[in-house]
Chain A
Amino acid sequence: EAGVAQSPRYKIIEKRQSVAFWCNPISGHATLYWYQQILGQGPKLLIQFQNNGVVDDSQLPKDRFSAERLKGVDSTLKIQPAKLEDSAVYLCASRSGTGYHEQYFGPGTRLTVT
């Protein structure tokens, strides 16, 4: 079974530029998460999707961050415009069903904003 795929793995941009990250969850997993992990901290939830609907985006900075999962499969997270404090690893995770099953994480995208 293929794991959670993310691309790109690394990205360096200047502040005020825009960037997009892509995630393809494990096949059949209805729930998809985006987490932000700042260096030295644990991951923090940005947004949770159930199929193509948003379940929780309470911690997503909506003035600059957006995310979509149009067909209920893969997802894109966008930052526009980026700030220095957005430098972090962006992790995508997926989970099967609607219950409390284990989450599986992708390798992450490391973003550096200069």
Chain B
Amino acid sequence: KQEVTQIPAALSVPEGENLVLNCSFTDSAIYNLQWFRQDPGKGLTSLLLIQSSQREQTSGRLNASLDKSSGRSTLYIAASQPGDSATYLCAGLDTGRRALTFGSGTRLQVQP
């Protein structure tokens, strides 16, 4: 059974800092990995999706990497802004189940 862990659970940084969010998964039979953003009281917004054949994906100030052999993914946020404050969730799509297994998220607070 796939398990996804995110570290840290919470993070507070000053505006402008570069930061890394970590995600680890137990089963390397992963088809893709998705990073989401969730604002309080809102649904999930997909940020980046990395296929298992890819190593990384980039969108604007965001860069996500995937290392299946070590069971890890990272989300890099460059030059953080107060508007980046949210909970960030990673989720792996298993080749068998075709449903996402989520981590518990990292709550990010960017201080102005």
| Interface residue ranges, A against B (CB under 8 Å) | 31, 33, 40-45, 48, 55-56, 91, 93, 100, 102-108, 110
Contact status B42-A107, CB under 8 Å: yes
Contact status B4-A48, CB under 8 Å: no
Would A100 and B93 be within 8 Å (CB), given that A42-B102, A42-B104 are in contact? yes
Which of A41, A45, A102 is within 8 Å of B99, CB to CB? A45
**Does chain A have a CB within 8 A of B43?**
yes
> Which residues of the other chain, B, contact A48 by a CB distance below 8 angstroms?
98-99
* A interface majority secondary structure: strand
Smallest CB gap from B42: residue in A: A107
Contact status A33-B99, CB under 8 Å: yes
> Which residues of the other chain, A, contact B42 by a CB distance below 8 angstroms?
107-108
Q: What is the 8 Å Cβ interface bit string for chain B, positions 27-68, against chain A (1 contact, 0 not)?
A: 000011010100001111110010100000000000000000
Q: What is the 8 Å Cβ interface bit string for chain B, positions 70-88, against chain A (1 contact, 0 not)?
A: 0000000000000000000
Which of A40, A43, A45, A56 is within 8 Å of B44, CB to CB? A43
Q: What is the 8 Å Cβ interface bit string for chain B, positions 1-31, against chain A (1 contact, 0 not)?
A: 0001000000000000000000000000001
- For chain B, the bracket of interface size reads 20 to 34
| Interface residue ranges, B against A (CB under 8 Å) | 4, 31-32, 34, 36, 41-46, 49, 51, 89, 91, 93, 95, 97-105
Smallest CB gap from A31: residue in B: B98
Contact status B43-A107, CB under 8 Å: yes
Smallest CB gap from B90: residue in A: A42
Which of A45, A56, A105 is within 8 Å of B43, CB to CB? A105
> Which residues of the other chain, A, contact B36 by a CB distance below 8 angstroms?
105
**CA–CA, A32 to B30, complex, Å?**
20
> Which residues of the other chain, A, contact B104 by a CB distance below 8 angstroms?
40-42
Contact status B46-A56, CB under 8 Å: no
Contact status A100-B98, CB under 8 Å: yes
> Which residues of the other chain, B, contact A110 by a CB distance below 8 angstroms?
41
Contact status A42-B43, CB under 8 Å: no
Smallest CB gap from B93: residue in A: A100
